[in-house]
Structure 1
Amino acid sequence: METIHNMFEHLQWSNQRILETLKNIEGENKRAINLFSHILLAEQVWFTRLKGLDSSTLPIWAEVSLEACVELANQNHQNFKEYLTGLSNLDLAQFVSYRNSKGIEFKNTVADILTHVALHGQYHRGQINQLLRVNDFEPINVEFITFRR
């Protein structure tokens, strides 16, 4: 559980760093905001699945304003914080059944889903950093080791 908690603390820290940078850069970088909103929407979808609810009507890709991203990031953080608080090591091995965005059914363990959520965001934060660099902005250090320091 400690590793999972660390991963989600890092996720929150990374999301906040990206969010602050996107709020402060000159001009709107639409592609970067779309990638960031995708991270947040995917977190929402996976949380919904972990709760055993239907996620089929939730978007994974959608145009979301930066202001809406702020609210979504805060809500996701609160949701996962509460969820993880009530989770035990035994719970991590439980299987969750869900349908993906194409309607195909899958089963994965809670641990696998939580690991995916943490790693998925990091992948897209790297893409955001690449877009920032191409547009002459300094990329944001969201490395796990930096977070731990």
Structure 2
Amino acid sequence: MKTIKKMFEHLNWANQLILETLQNAETDEKHLSLFSHILYSEQVWLTRLKGMDTSQMPIWSDGDITVCANLIKENEENFKTLLEELVKTGLDNLITYTNSSGKEFKTSIRDILTHVALHGQYHRGQINSRLRVDGFEPVNIDYITFVR
């Protein structure tokens, strides 16, 4: 659980750095689309972890920097609450959910949380690549930088 919590501290730190960079740079819709995808996906997984239906939730949506800022705060609070609750119930419990294509899966909470942390890092890397192409300095969001 300690490692999972640290991964989510890193996730929140990295999201905040990307947000600040996008707020200060003249970026296009592609950056915001990827960033909002990260944040909406976090919401979808939170909802699935609570055993609720996600079929009407967006995964890809038009990006808006203000919406992204609000999603970061909301997701951070909700994941902190969830992680505290999981200390009592455990990470190896399986949950059943339906993906965006309508297919049902059973996956451990541990694997879902690991996926959420890695999924965001993958897309933040895409954002950094696009920033570099557009002439902006990429954001150092490496985990080792976070723990230093």
Q: Equivalent residue for 1:75?
A: 74
**Separation in 2 of the partners of 1:144 and 1:89?**
27
Equivalent residue for 1:107? 106
The answer to whether the 8 Å contact 2:95/2:108 transfers is yes
Give the drift of 1:89.
7.4
Alignment of 1:1-149 (within 5 A): 1-25=1-25, 27-88=26-87, 91-149=90-148
TM-score when scaled to structure 1? 0.97
| Deviation string, structure 1 residues 12-65 (Cα, Å, up to 9, x no partner) | 00000000000001x232101100000000000000000000011001001031
d(CA) in 2 for partners of 1:88, 1:138: 39
Counterpart Cα distance in 2 of 1:146 and 1:87 = 27
Per the alignment, in what secondary structure is the counterpart of residue 90 of structure 2?
A: helix
In structure 2, runs of 5+ residues without a counterpart are none
Percent of aligned pairs with the same amino acid = 55
Q: In the aligned structure 1, how far is the partner of 2:73 from the partner of 2:117? A: 16
Deviations 1:67-106 (A, max 9, x none): 0110011100000011101212751000010000011000
Partner SS state of residue 88, structure 1:
helix
CA RMSD across the alignment: 1.0
User: Unpaired segments of 5 or more residues in structure 1?
Assistant: none
Q: How many residues are matched?
A: 148
Structure 1 distance, partners of 2:75, 2:130, is 24
- Which digits, 9 at most, give the CA deviation of each residue in 1:102-127, with x for residues without a partner? 11000100000000000000000000
Q: Distance in 2 between matches of 1:148 and 1:98?
A: 33
